[in-house]
A = this chain, B = another copy of it.
Amino acid sequence: MLSRLIPQRTALSARACGLQWRQMAVLSMDSLPKTVVDAEYAVRGAIVTKSMEFEEQLKKPGHGLPFKELVPCNIGNPQAVGDTPLTFHRQLISLLSDPELVNSPKTADLYPKDVMERAKTFLKMNAKMGAYSHSKGVRGFRDVISEFIEKRDGQKCDPESIFITNGASDGVKTALELCVADPTDGILIPTPQYPLYSASCTRLGGTALGYEMVEDYSSGEGWTIDTAVIQSQIDKHKATGAKVKAIAVINPGNPVGNVMSRKQLEEVVKLCEKNGLVLMADEVYQDNIYAAGKEFISFRKIAYDLGAKIELMSFHSISKGYYGECGIRGGYMQLENIDPAVTDEIYKLFSMCLCSNTLGQAMMASVVSPPVKGEESYELFEKEKNVKLDALKRKADFLAGALNDIKGVRCLPIEGSMYAFPEIFLPKRFCEEAVAAGSSPDGVYCMKMLEATGVVTVPGSGFGQKAGTWHYRITILPKEDMLKSVMGNIKSWHEGLMNEYLSPGETIPF
């Protein structure tokens, strides 16, 4: 629904340019592949575009906006909202960028000894950061990553099963590319989900089968997955003669912030085994666990524990966790039980763009092998890490509480990842007005919130949500004082909205 806002905007800009290409252009909205036009990607949609306009407007004196600054809570982008990078990894990247620094006497005491040592080790693995690497990534870096995976899961990991990528997105896109061979090929995608999945599936011309993340305020289990329901969806799709190829699972969850229990993870693996599904395990938030008693367990470990020989593709990234190095672009995809001939095809696809950026590759290897006790950087590293993780935990608790403190808003505990996905009650008249204007009610809600408070969020319709419910996604990332002020502003604005739109006799259910 939200996508309807986009054509309106582009139609305007097209008009401004005089429409001269309309008559003769090879490339127009009519000539583009339908799957390109149909793909929806809300995280950077109409609301972000509006926020960029506001950004320019705010620079002008007497800008007339009711807020002083924008707070981008639309995207898991920690450094955009004041987070600072970890010293150790950045010192390393700095040394790798200019290897002269490693050997120059001028810089002998520039950095701690262990950073210097790691730079030397990494340069031995790949002396030429400016050369294309192996299309899977530098072998030495893949060795480091495989050691991390082995230690994490207690199971051997072949470095040849790893592809280092420009962030996790590249890997996810490529994995989906392999699974969609036919328009009826079904990919099970959570609802709500991270929109890369649905957008890629649409672009590839496949069938996205949304499975519901169950939002349960009574059981105390938070957001859960009901594999019995998914099984019936699979049966139904197969009954049409079509295939169900894969299931994507995001754990810890985006946008809903859940952390799956061992029992749930096992159910998913068994579902894959029973139905012959590729499991796409999006585990980029594996270091973002906040809820007491919750822990991250990889799907890979579960599959090994169960002895389940499922086809598994797991994704990790340098962009999340307590490292948050989104802009450097690093990630990896790790394969289990994938036909070597298929792995060769993946290699071919990646080799078409030669390799991922080598500094991001190095950062990925460094993120999974942080300084250890006894090394010079260890104390500072641990301190920086714990400050970040402690703050994230406090903010997760605070945000869920502050949301639940608003009448007409409710939110399950934020157990992990970087987001809350609160449910919002919207008055009948508000919904009718939005629909009449060709927009989704939650889209209008988020746009109005932006206009009134400067807080950028993403409407639930950008992720998918249970029919008849409205949500939005907001990150826990702004600094704590900022987050407190944000929630204060949202609360007063929301209450004003309710007063404005609530019809006589209409009650707010939560």
Interface residues of A (CB under 8 A from B): 6-7, 9-11, 13-14, 16-17, 20-22, 24-29, 31-34, 36-37, 39, 41, 43-44, 52, 75, 77-80, 85, 87, 90-91, 93-95, 97-98, 100-101, 106-107, 110, 128-135, 166-167, 169-170, 173, 177-181, 196, 199-200, 203, 245-246, 276-278, 309, 311, 319, 324-329, 337-342, 344-345, 347-349, 351-360
Contacts and interface: CB of A to CB of B under 8 A. Distances in A.
Q: How many copies of this chain are found per oligomer?
A: 2
B128 A327 contact: yes
Contact of A277 (B26, B52, B87): B26
A207 to B, nearest CB: 14
B200 A352 contact: yes
A355 B77 CA distance: 12
Interface of A is mostly: helix
Among A27, A357, A359, max chain B CB count under 10 A is at: A27
A311 B25 CA distance: 7
A27 B169 contact: no
B98 A90 contact: yes
Contacts of A34: 181
A409 B338 CA distance: 44
Contact of A24 (B31, B78, B276, B328): B276
Report the 5 A-B pairs with minimum CB-CB distance, sorted nearest first: A94-B98, A327-B358, A329-B357, A79-B131, A44-B351
Nearest to A199: B352
A130 B324 contact: yes
A273 to B, nearest CB: 10
B339 A22 contact: yes
B339 A21 contact: yes
A326 B130 CA distance: 5
Contacts of A39: 348-349, 352
Contact of A77 (B107, B131, B352, B353): B131
